[in-house]
Amino acid sequence: MIYLKEYLEAIESEEKREPAATAIINPASTRYKQALKKLDRLEKAARFSIIRSTTTAYPHHTKAIIQEAFFGSDLVIVLGGDGAFHSVVRARMEMYDRMSDHEKRIPILSIGGGNAEDGLRANHTDFHRRHPEQLLNDGLIAETHPIRFDIHMPGHEENYKEHYWAAFYASLGATALATEALNSPKHRHSFFGKRKFGRLVSELPIAARSMVKSETNRVRELDGSERELYTELFINSGIMAKYLRFPVKLTEDRIFHLAMEQKRYSNTISAALAARRGKLEGDYLEPEDSVSFITTHDLKAQLDGEDKLGDYSLIPSQSQVRIGLDERSLRVVVTNPEL
Could you tell me if residue 206 is inside a domain?
yes
Q: Please report whether residue 337 resides in a domain.
A: no
Q: Are 83 and 152 members of one domain?
A: no
Instruction: Let me know whether 158 and 103 are in one domain.
Output: no
Is 335 part of any domain? no
**Does a structural domain hold residue 256?**
yes
CB 79, CB 25: distance < 8 Å:
yes
Mark which of 100, 124, 144 sits at the end of a domain. 144
- pLDDT at residue number 198: 57
Q: Is 47 exposed, middle or buried (0-12, 13-18, 19+ CB in 10 A)?
A: exposed
249, 119: one domain: no
Where does a domain end: 114, 144, 174? Answer: 144
* Nearest of 146, 113, 154, 123 to residue 23 by alpha carbon: 113
**147 beta partners:** 166, 325
Q: Are residues 159 and 88 in the same domain?
A: no
Q: Quickly state the pLDDT bin for 116 (edges 50, 70, 90).
A: low
246-268 per-position pLDDT tens digit: 888 888 899 999 998 877 766 67
Q: How far is the C-alpha of 217 from the C-alpha of 203, rounded, in Å?
A: 24
CA atoms within 13 Å, Cβ hemisphere of 332: 26
3-state secondary structure of 64: helix
Question: What CATH number is attached to the domain comprising 78?
Answer: 3.40.50.10330
Domain housing 95: 2-144
| Number of folded domains that form the chain | 2
Neighbours of 249 (CB within 10 A): 18
Q: Which of 104, 102, 109, 83 is nearest to 92 (CA)?
A: 104
- Mean pLDDT in residue range 102-130: 82
> At 281, which CATH number?
2.60.200.40
Question: Does the residue 339 lie in any domain?
Answer: no
| The domain boundary residue, chosen from 76, 110, 144 | 144
pLDDT band at 183 (very low <50, low <70, confident <90, very high): low
**What pLDDT does residue 132 have?**
84
H or E element that contains 208: helix 204-213
User: Would 268 be classed as within a structural domain?
Assistant: yes
Question: Which of 297, 301, 315 is CA-nearest to residue 217?
Answer: 297
Say what the pLDDT of residue 246 is: 83
Q: Is the pLDDT of residue 50 over 90?
A: yes
Question: Does residue 250 lie within any of the structural domains?
Answer: yes
